[in-house]
């Protein structure tokens, strides 16, 4: 009986991982259907979920909200998986803009999608919400950050193979000079040259620019932008999406990760499964010395775990 209680506690709690173990719950319903005393003993022994309240054990409101989130993970991943990618991106962007969330997700969408995919997301946004994405970004994002985001979501970048190395080197110097002379992070966010380069150049051109930057200044541009998170995120997404997404995944699994960090796990796996999941797994292994599939198996539960493993190609 102790093993049954322990298994059900793990299934209900979601402790030590994301999701819940639905199959254990269902099998326990069948076994305990005519044994209410077992449920009573389970409630008394699960102090984190139930607390004494008069003659009953009360289910804690905070934990009910926690469980609601954990139960919904599998539902959310399946609904998002079934959506058209353009609609998915449009809905994510709209949620960010209208729920006062950090705008990192919009940077991610604008910088890691192809030009056609970003254009498709903008079309879907307009069809769903009767405003343009650019219009809503300009209206909802306050301060200097607005210029960068409007430029990113409006971009239609060249995706051919040609790179002008001399121009890339020249623009690396321009970025370095702007960063070195900036008095505050706000100065960089209103620097027309910085915004122009990051929001209009092709990704291949920018990777060459970032390479020249390190050669010229001795540090990566990512390091030099550590005090300007929005620009640093932009550079990460443009330079190496697999490395960026592996870092997002790692944050989701860290102890004490908040809801946004955990929710990002679903976003990454759904949006990248058919794009660059192989490269993300390689980047994760290189950065953290572990197989992504093993980390998923250890840190998630139930159908949510199975869905993540399937999207990971396991």
Percentage of the chain lying above the pLDDT 90 cut:
71
> Which pLDDT value is given to residue 4?
77
59-63, 201-205, 226-230, 300-304: least confidently modelled range = 59-63
Please indicate if the annotation marks 256 as binding a ligand: yes
Residue 186 in any domain: the answer is yes
> Which pLDDT band, with edges at 50, 70 and 90, does 295 fall under?
very high
Answer yes or no: do 306 and 249 share one domain: yes
Answer yes or no: do 269 and 203 share one domain: no
Residue 116 in any domain: the answer is no
Q: Can you give the residue range of the structural domain that contains 270? A: 242-311
Per the CB < 8 A criterion, the answer to whether 201 and 195 are in contact is: no
> Which pLDDT value is given to residue 47?
73
Answer yes or no: do 219 and 277 share one domain: no
Per the CB < 8 A criterion, the answer to whether 309 and 27 are in contact is: no
Q: How many residues does the chain have?
A: 314
Higher pLDDT, 303 or 7: 303
Question: What's the pTM value of the predicted model, to 2 decimals?
Answer: 0.91
Answer yes or no: do 250 and 298 share one domain: yes
Please indicate if the annotation marks 124 as binding a ligand: no
> Which pLDDT value is given to residue 277?
97
Answer yes or no: do 226 and 254 share one domain: no
> Which pLDDT band, with edges at 50, 70 and 90, does 12 fall under?
confident
Answer yes or no: do 190 and 247 share one domain: no
Answer yes or no: do 171 and 212 share one domain: yes
> Which pLDDT value is given to residue 142?
85
Per the CB < 8 A criterion, the answer to whether 15 and 297 are in contact is: no
**Chain position carrying tokens 């930057």:** 213
Per the CB < 8 A criterion, the answer to whether 204 and 163 are in contact is: yes
Where residue 211 sits, what CATH number does that domain have?
1.10.220.10
Higher pLDDT, 21 or 73: 73
Helix pair 192-200, 203-217: axis angle to 10 deg? 130
Q: For the segment 20-71, what is each residue's pLDDT rounded down to a tens digit?
A: 888 888 888 888 877 888 878 878 877 777 888 887 888 878 888 888 888 9
Residue 304 in any domain: the answer is yes
Residue 132 in any domain: the answer is no
Q: Among 237, 269, 287, which residue terminates a domain?
A: 237
Please indicate if the annotation marks 19 as binding a ligand: yes
Q: Among 185, 209, 237, which residue terminates a domain?
A: 237
> Which pLDDT band, with edges at 50, 70 and 90, does 100 fall under?
low
Q: For the segment 128-168, what is each residue's pLDDT rounded down to a tens digit?
A: 999 999 999 999 998 888 999 999 999 999 999 999 999 99
Answer yes or no: do 161 and 232 share one domain: yes
Answer yes or no: do 167 and 226 share one domain: yes
> Which pLDDT value is given to residue 15?
57
Answer yes or no: do 165 and 230 share one domain: yes
Residue 290 in any domain: the answer is yes
- End-to-end Cα distance, the chain: 34
Residue 100 in any domain: the answer is no
Answer yes or no: do 199 and 256 share one domain: no
Residue 226 in any domain: the answer is yes
Please indicate if the annotation marks 300 as binding a ligand: yes
Question: What is the total count of domains within the chain?
Answer: 3
**Chain position carrying tokens 């005519």:** 34
> Which pLDDT value is given to residue 14?
56
Residue 255 in any domain: the answer is yes
Please indicate if the annotation marks 183 as binding a ligand: no
Of 235, 238, 309, the closest CA to residue 277 belongs to 309
> Which pLDDT value is given to residue 13?
59
Q: For the segment 115-130, what is each residue's pLDDT rounded down to a tens digit?
A: 999 999 999 999 999 9
Q: For the segment 35-47, what is each residue's pLDDT rounded down to a tens digit?
A: 888 878 878 877 7
Q: Ramachandran region of residue 307, left (φ > 0), alpha (ψ -120 to 50) or beta?
A: alpha
Q: Among 180, 209, 237, which residue terminates a domain?
A: 237
Strand locations in 208-279, DSSP E? Answer: none
Answer yes or no: do 250 and 297 share one domain: yes
């Amino acid at each position: 009986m102790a093993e049954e209680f322990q298994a059900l506690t793990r299934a209900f709690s979601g402790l030590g991982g994301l999701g819940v173990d639905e199959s254990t719950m269902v099998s326990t319903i069948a076994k305990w259907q005519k044994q209410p005393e077992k449920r009573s003993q389970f409630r008394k022994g699960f102090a984190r979920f139930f607390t004494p309240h008069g003659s009953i054990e009360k289910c804690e409101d905070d934990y009910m909200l926690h469980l609601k989130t954990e139960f919904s993970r599998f539902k959310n991943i399946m609904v998002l998986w079934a959506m058209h990618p353009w609609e998915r991106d449009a809905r994510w962007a709209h949620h960010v803009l209208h729920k006062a969330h950090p705008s990192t997700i919009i940077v991610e969408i604008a910088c890691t999608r192809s030009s056609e995919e970003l254009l498709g997301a903008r079309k879907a946004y307009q069809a769903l919400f009767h405003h343009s994405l650019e219009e809503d970004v300009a209206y909802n994002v306050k301060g200097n950050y607005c210029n960068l985001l409007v430029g990113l979501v409006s971009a239609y970048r060249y995706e051919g193979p040609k790179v002008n190395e001399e121009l890339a080197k020249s623009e690396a110097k321009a970025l370095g000079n702007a960063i070195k002379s900036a008095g505050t992070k706000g100065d960089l966010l209103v620097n027309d040259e910085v915004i122009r380069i990051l929001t209009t150049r092709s990704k291949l051109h920018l990777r060459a620019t970032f390479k020249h930057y390190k050669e010229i200044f001795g540090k990566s541009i990512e390091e030099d932008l550590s005090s300007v998170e929005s620009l640093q995120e932009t550079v990460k997404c443009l330079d190496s999406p697999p490395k960026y997404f592996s870092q997002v995944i790692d944050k989701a699994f860290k102890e004490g990760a908040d809801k946004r960090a955990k929710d990002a796990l679903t976003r990454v796996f759904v949006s990248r499964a058919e794009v660059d999941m192989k490269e993300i797994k390689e980047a994760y292994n290189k950065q953290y010395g572990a197989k992504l599939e093993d980390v998923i198996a250890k840190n998630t539960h139930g159908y949510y775990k199975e869905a993540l493993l399937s999207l990971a190609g396991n």
